[in-house]
A and B are shown apart, each in its own frame.
Chain A
Amino acid sequence: DAGVIQSPRHEVTEMGQEVTLRCKPISGHDYLFWYRQTMMRGLELLIYFNNNVPIDDSGMPEDRFSAKMPNASFSTLKIQPSEPRDSAVYFCASSLIRTGKADTQYFGPGTRLTVL
């Protein structure tokens, strides 16, 4: 099992540029989550999908952020235009259908984004 795959692992860009982060969930998982980690706020949930459908995007900070899941094996998180305050580590996680437990989220290695 390859686990959750994220790309790129590191991204450095200039303010105003578009950034696209990619995620491949574990095969067979029904849920996909996007998180952002910062020192001040810890791990924040941005958006999550169930069977490719966005369920809750209340954590998306601004309209500059968008996420898609065109199929069960791929999701993107896009920031356009990017700003220095978007610098953070972005994690993707996936899980199986709800079993009454919330401990089945498996995280990818993260993408460290730096916006200059």
Chain B
Amino acid sequence: DQQVKQNSPSLSVQEGRISILNCDYTNSMFDYFLWYKKYPAEGPTFLISISSIKDKNEDGRFTVFLNKSAKHLSLHIVPSQPGDSAVYFCAASALAYNTDKLIFGTGTRLQVFP
């Protein structure tokens, strides 16, 4: 049972435009959400996070939006750059339940072309 779902395995966007990556979750206990970025032959690296008490968090070109009622979050990258081409993983945690586990989605491969 996949508790965190990324239904788009890939996304192709032109340089300079907005990239929107989506993630859905099923477990209402999740209260903290993260995005990780992964380049080939490297481990994932933390990108941005959001607590369930917020609905938006912004860091430079990256913004994460959370819609708790829909159990949906999205990552916006504006403007997209070729260096953003990577696999993006959505992850969730239930911090209020004193767990250190991250539940990851299957990832979305983003390709930014010139």
Residues of A within 8 A of B (CB): 4, 31, 33, 35, 39-45, 48, 50, 55-56, 91, 93, 95, 98, 100-110
Contacts and interface: CB of A to CB of B under 8 A. Distances in A.
Contacts, number: 63
Contact of A4 (B43, B89, B100, B101): B43
Given A42-B89, A42-B107, A43-B89, A102 B102 contact: yes
14 contacts: A31-B100, A42-B6, A43-B104, A43-B107, A45-B101, A45-B102, A91-B43, A101-B49, A101-B95, A102-B100, A102-B102, A103-B34, A109-B41, A110-B42
A41 to B, nearest CB: 7
A107 B36 CA distance: 10
Contact of B106 (A41, A48, A106, A109): A41
A42 B23 CA distance: 13
Taking residues whose C-beta sits less than 8 angstroms from the other chain, chain B's interface range is 20 to 34
Contacts of B32: 101-102
A103 B105 CA distance: 15
Given A42-B106, A100-B95, A102-B32, A107 B100 contact: no
B46 interface: yes
A98 B100 contact: yes
Contacts of B101: 45, 48, 56
**Which residue among A43, A45, A107, A108 has the maximum number of chain B CB atoms within 10 Å of its CB?**
A43
B45 interface: yes
B99 to A, nearest CB: 8
A109 B41 CA distance: 6
